[in-house]
Chain A
């Protein structure tokens, strides 16, 4: 009973990391990374928690079906988003510190 709720909290931790990355990351490719990994793992944790709490074979099969669909769909979408971003010319942010500027002499 309680291991399900523990997995729920792990799931919302991953979802919170997704929202943080989507809000704070500098360019589109970093955001794609955050959304892809965080959402996939967060949904895995929440569905695993529900598998401990829900009874009935039919409901468990449906939950595994949701998980399987999202685990195929989410990497596909992030791959396609990154391809569209690259072909449309989205910029990549490179951070440059003072030491780099002194080393390059600019």
Chain B
């Protein structure tokens, strides 16, 4: 039982590391991605808590969290999608060199 409690604490620390990316993330996409990772880790924490506290009804909570997290993140992404998404999607296939942005980072000496 104490092993699963230790694993829960380790997963909580990893969720805090993901939260750093959610705070400093340069774009909105990074923040949404970090919140998705935190949701999955929370799901694992709830499942392990259900086993370690011997209260297996918590698995229902995990099912609800999976569905609600999916809908929430999908709604956030939907609000971030540009208005002319269909035109852009068709456009990117024809002139990707103008629409896809590259940043060159110099490594080594």
Which residues does A use to contact B, with CB under 8 Å? 5, 8-9, 11-12, 15-16, 18-19, 22-23, 26-28, 31-32, 35, 39, 42-43, 46-47, 50, 53-54, 56, 59, 62-63, 65-66, 69-70, 73-74, 76-77, 80-81, 83-98, 101
Contacts and interface: CB of A to CB of B under 8 A. Distances in A.
B105 A35 contact: no
Contacts of B21: 22-23, 31
Contact of B101 (A39, A56, A63, A91): A91
10 contacts: A9-B7, A31-B33, A39-B36, A50-B47, A65-B63, A66-B59, A69-B70, A88-B82, A90-B29, A91-B101
Interface of B: 3-4, 7, 10-11, 14, 17-18, 20-21, 27-30, 32-34, 36-37, 40-41, 43-44, 47-48, 51, 56, 59-60, 62-63, 66-67, 69-70, 73-74, 77, 80-82, 85, 88-89, 92, 99-109
Contact of A31 (B10, B30, B67, B80): B30
Contacts of A94: 102-105
B44 A43 contact: yes
B106 A96 contact: yes
Given A47-B47, A73-B70, 20 more contacts: A8-B7, A18-B18, A22-B18, A22-B34, A23-B17, A32-B33, A39-B41, A42-B40, A46-B47, A50-B51, A66-B59, A66-B63, A77-B73, A81-B29, A84-B77, A87-B88, A87-B92, A90-B101, A95-B104, A97-B106
Contacts of B51: 50, 53-54
A20 to B, nearest CB: 8
Nearest to A39: B40
Contact of A66 (B17, B47, B73, B103): B47
B56 A35 contact: no
Given A22-B34, A46-B48, A81-B77, A91 B102 contact: yes
